[in-house]
């Protein structure tokens, strides 16, 4: 029997342990953890395959059609200092669903596949996410020119990863994995795809709901902006953030600036007889997609708001902003601002503006000696300059509209100040709608089983949205209620919520298998009658 305690850590009271997880895609840590899932798949009698992108799949063959599949999917890689459940919980719920169907002697006319998508998180490749599922969809990924943060190509990384994984499989006594080009023909093979996940931070928890049923999945639009002036950049950040702060049911996008690192060119003579002050905005790191705009403690936004307030003070000169660390889809918990001010200016006036910025942005400020660009070991921290912008589009938006929105947000500021701005897009996508019939079916199952649920949108990217380009595939994304947000060690959920997720996913998969049985059994009978005639 598959045991949750083999995959996740709980204390003696059944409370999930909050701990940092560093299971970056294609690393040894990623391999070690995947071995647990490979072992469980093989114990369920599945044949396990691995493909050229590193996707892993366990298959129970169909009894009528082995070219058609019901797919349960998620990922196991994490961001740097992530949490226990973001990703792996979906793979685990897939395993438990398969186990339940086997125990119930479910007739499977088509394959049942559990897919662990490779490199879902964007951390390893600096903004490039869902590499495994995009490969399955048929995207033209350039394995040689896709370069990681550590300067290696995707081809080099995957080659070593596969060799190390296959060696580890043999070393622990598991059956060899079969190497294939693709573990799934995602555009022609899938009938239904189900992904389980945690998301929505505290939304489900605050509404006392165990399950979220997702109707649409956001698409990230990411770009680098090289703005030559701190005040200009701050105005842009504040405008972009303000425009995104619509009532949640009306929001079509969420905006985040994970990196705000700019150094103004200052004549040293202009700093004579002035005091240099450095302040650090301290917020709370969280996922840029799944954290509602009104619940954020965003250090970058706090810094930008302080700059706007300080700009009304005579003789203020902004010297530098710096974000010590950031990830591409994260709200930043720390941002530094250094500026010069007349020594005659009352310190109380600065503190008054600090307090005002704190209240607006829901962050704290502390006075620090100077901007620190090295860690405790003396190693350099973030060295990127400019802004990195993450805009999460929802249904009703598309890349062209997002481009227009960003352009109109900044053009008046640029024209007024006369400063320069250069923008380069790193990724863009179109939001994805899940299957309305499956949403209705999931609601029905929740109601019949007295499981509290909520129908909502996903503000984070998921493999499900990039898995296939076939619009006829029935897809659904289920959320397990959680607290603490995603992409940080505080991410957690409860055993009750996990059991609810598994229960709904199992019943959905059972219903979809029954539907497949009706479709393909009838087709087989008709074909037989035609042959007899």
Sketch the domain layout of the chain as residue ranges. 15-218+431-528, 224-427
Q: Are 218 and 500 in contact (CB under 8 A)?
A: no
d(CA 142, CA 146): 6
Q: What angle do CA 440, 443, 444 make, to 5 degrees?
A: 90
Residues 6+ apart with CB under 8 A from 90: 72, 73, 74, 75, 195, 196, 197
What's the CATH code, domain 224-427?
3.30.70.360
Q: Which residue has the tokens 């499989």?
A: 169
d(CA 527, CA 525): 5
User: Residue 202: its pLDDT value, please?
Assistant: 73
User: Residue 247: its pLDDT value, please?
Assistant: 76
User: Residue 288: its pLDDT value, please?
Assistant: 86
Q: Are 204 and 213 in contact (CB under 8 A)?
A: no
Going residue by residue through the chain (533 aa), what tens digit of pLDDT does each one get? 899 999 999 999 999 999 999 999 999 999 999 999 999 999 999 999 999 999 999 999 999 999 999 999 999 999 988 999 999 999 999 999 999 999 999 889 999 999 999 999 988 998 788 999 999 999 999 999 999 988 999 999 999 999 999 999 999 999 999 999 999 999 999 999 999 999 876 788 888 999 999 999 999 899 999 998 999 999 999 999 988 887 766 778 999 999 999 999 888 888 888 999 999 999 998 888 878 898 899 999 999 999 999 999 888 999 999 999 877 778 999 999 999 998 888 889 999 999 999 999 999 999 999 998 888 778 888 778 899 999 999 988 889 999 988 888 888 777 777 777 888 998 888 999 999 999 999 999 999 999 999 999 999 889 999 999 999 999 999 999 998 877 888 889 999 999 999 999 999 999 999 999 999 986 656 665 665 55
Is beta strand 190-198 parallel, antiparallel or unpaired with respect to 474-480?
A: parallel
Q: Are 253 and 242 in contact (CB under 8 A)?
A: no
User: Residue 421: its pLDDT value, please?
Assistant: 84
N- to C-terminal Cα distance for the chain? Answer: 48
User: Residue 411: its pLDDT value, please?
Assistant: 82
Q: Are 380 and 373 in contact (CB under 8 A)?
A: yes
User: Residue 246: its pLDDT value, please?
Assistant: 79
d(CA 413, CA 235): 7
User: Residue 127: its pLDDT value, please?
Assistant: 74
User: Residue 10: its pLDDT value, please?
Assistant: 95
Look up the CATH architecture of domain 15-218+431-528: 3-Layer(aba) Sandwich (3.40)
Q: What angle do CA 140, 144, 149 make, to 5 degrees?
A: 105
Sheet strand arrangement including 421-427 = 364-367, 274-282, 334-342, 317-322, 253-263, 386-393, 219-227, 421-427
d(CA 342, CA 74): 56
d(CA 95, CA 497): 16
User: Residue 326: its pLDDT value, please?
Assistant: 79
Q: Which residue has the tokens 């990039």?
A: 466
In 107-187 the beta strands, taken as DSSP E runs, fall at 110-116, 178-179
Rounded CA Rg of the chain: 25
Q: What angle do CA 40, 156, 79 make, to 5 degrees?
A: 55
User: Residue 311: its pLDDT value, please?
Assistant: 94
In 343-430 the beta strands, taken as DSSP E runs, fall at 364-367, 386-393, 421-427
Looking at the DSSP bridge assignments, the partners of residue 475 are: 193
Is beta strand 453-458 parallel, antiparallel or unpaired with respect to 317-322?
A: unpaired
d(CA 249, CA 346): 44
Nearest to 463 by CA among 447, 445, 475: 475
pTM equals: 0.87
């Amino acid at each position: 029997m598959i045991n949750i305690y083999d995959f996740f850590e709980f204390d003696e009271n059944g409370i999930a342990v909050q701990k940092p997880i560093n299971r970056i895609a294609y690393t040894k840590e990623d391999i070690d953890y995947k071995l647990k899932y490979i072992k469980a798949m093989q114990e369920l009698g599945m044949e396990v395959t691995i493909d050229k992108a590193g996707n892993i799949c366990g298959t129970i063959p169909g009894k009528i059609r082995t070219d058609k599949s019901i797919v349960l999917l998620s990922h196991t890689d994490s961001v740097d200092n992530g949490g226990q459940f973001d990703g792996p919980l979906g793979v685990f719920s897939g395993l438990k669903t398969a186990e339940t169907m086997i125990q119930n002697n479910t007739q499977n006319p088509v394959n049942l596949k559990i897919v662990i998508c490779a490199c879902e998180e964007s951390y390893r490749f600096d903004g490039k996410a869902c590499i495994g599922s995009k490969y399955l969809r048929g995207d033209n990924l350039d394995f040689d020119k896709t370069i990681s943060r550590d300067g290696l190509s995707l081809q080099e990384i995957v080659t070593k990863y596969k060799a190390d994984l296959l060696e580890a499989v043999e070393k622990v006594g598991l059956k060899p994995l079969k190497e294939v080009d693709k573990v799934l023909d995602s555009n022609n093979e899938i009938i239904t795809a189900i992904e389980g996940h945690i998301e929505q931070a505290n939304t489900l928890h605050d509404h006392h709901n165990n399950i979220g049923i997702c109707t649409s999945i956001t698409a990230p639009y990411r770009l680098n902006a090289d703005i030559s002036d701190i005040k200009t950049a701050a105005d842009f950040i504040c405008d972009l953030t303000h425009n995104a702060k619509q009532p949640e049911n009306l929001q079509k996008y969420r905006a985040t600036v994970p990196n705000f690192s700019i150094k103004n060119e200052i004549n040293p003579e202009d700093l004579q007889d002035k005091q240099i002050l450095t302040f650090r905005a301290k917020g709370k790191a969280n996922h840029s997609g799944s954290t509602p705009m009104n619940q954020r403690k965003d250090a970058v936004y706090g810094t930008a708001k302080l700059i706007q307030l300080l700009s009304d003070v005579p003789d203020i000169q902004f010297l530098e902003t710096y974000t010590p660390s950031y990830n591409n889809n994260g709200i930043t918990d720390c941002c530094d601002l250094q500026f010069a001010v007349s020594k005659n200016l009352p310190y109380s006036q600065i503190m008054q503006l600090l307090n005002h910025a704190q209240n607006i942005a829901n962050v704290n400020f502390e006075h620090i000696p100077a901007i620190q660009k090295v860690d405790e070991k003396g190693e350099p921290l973030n060295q990127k300059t400019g802004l990195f912008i993450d805009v999460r589009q929802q249904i009703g938006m598309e890349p062209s509209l997002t481009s227009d929105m960003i352009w109109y947000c900044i053009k008046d500021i640029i024209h007024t100040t006369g400063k320069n701005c250069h923008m380069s897009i790193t990724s863009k996508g179109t939001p994805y709608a899940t299957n309305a019939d499956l949403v209705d079916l999931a609601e029905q199952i929740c109601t019949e089983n007295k499981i509290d649920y909520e129908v909502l949108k996903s503000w984070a990217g998921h493999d499900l949205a990039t898995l296939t380009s076939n619009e006829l595939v029935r897809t659904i994304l289920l959320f397990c209620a959680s607290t603490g947000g995603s992409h940080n060690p505080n991410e957690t959920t409860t055993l009750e919520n996990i059991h609810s997720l598994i229960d709904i996913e199992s019943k959905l998969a059972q219903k979809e298998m029954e539907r497949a049985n009706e479709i393909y059994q009838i087709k087989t009978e008709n074909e037989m009658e035609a042959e007899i005639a």
